Chain A
Amino acid sequence: KAGVTQTPRYLIKTRGQQVTLSCSPISGHRSVSWYQQTPGQGLQFLFEYFSETQRNKGNFPGRFSGRQFSNSRSEMNVSTLELGDSALYLCASSLEGSEAFFGQGTRLTVV
């Protein structure tokens, strides 16, 4: 059974640009959640999607957005990148109410 796949693994962007990250969940998992990990703030919840609907949202500015497609694949977008957006972005998928399976993450560097 394939795990959670995140692409790309590494990304370098310039301030002001936008970026789109992709997450393919485990087959059959309809919940996809996104997290940001930085050395200063640790792991923080960004948002969760379930059946193409955003179900929960963390305390991040509107520059951070996401969506989920009918096949449960999810994308997150960050517009007008800032240096502070440099982080490891992790997604996780799960069956309703069960344990989360995490991807390897996308390491974003903003220069």
Chain B
Amino acid sequence: QVQLVQSGAEVSQPGASVKVSCRTSGYAFTGYSIHWVRQAPGQGLEWMGRISPNTGATNYAQTFQGRVTVTRDTSLTTVYMELSRLMSDDTALYFCARALLLPGYYYPLDVWGQGTTVTVSS
């Protein structure tokens, strides 16, 4: 079955970087974009960016431009999200999710990973 399995919880210091992985299985990896969405404690959902696994092309939310990098390893069908220059406000639950990838249209997020808790603390 379709699965997105994320790496485990992370604790990082302010100013450091964190890299979260999203291992996919059960579907055609290059047929779906992978998006990253985060949720701060007690808050709503915030879209961070996406990658098209076929080309490696990325799009990022303006809020995270220059701090977030999304990459993929097609041989491992895995996507990575790295967030740099961490601040305490980056403490959140980070989700990956897939959306169908076809030109000219954007699609809903139909399957989600289980989430990865990132805690930024000194």
Q: Do A and B come from one complex?
A: no
Chain A contacts to B: CB under 8 angstroms: none
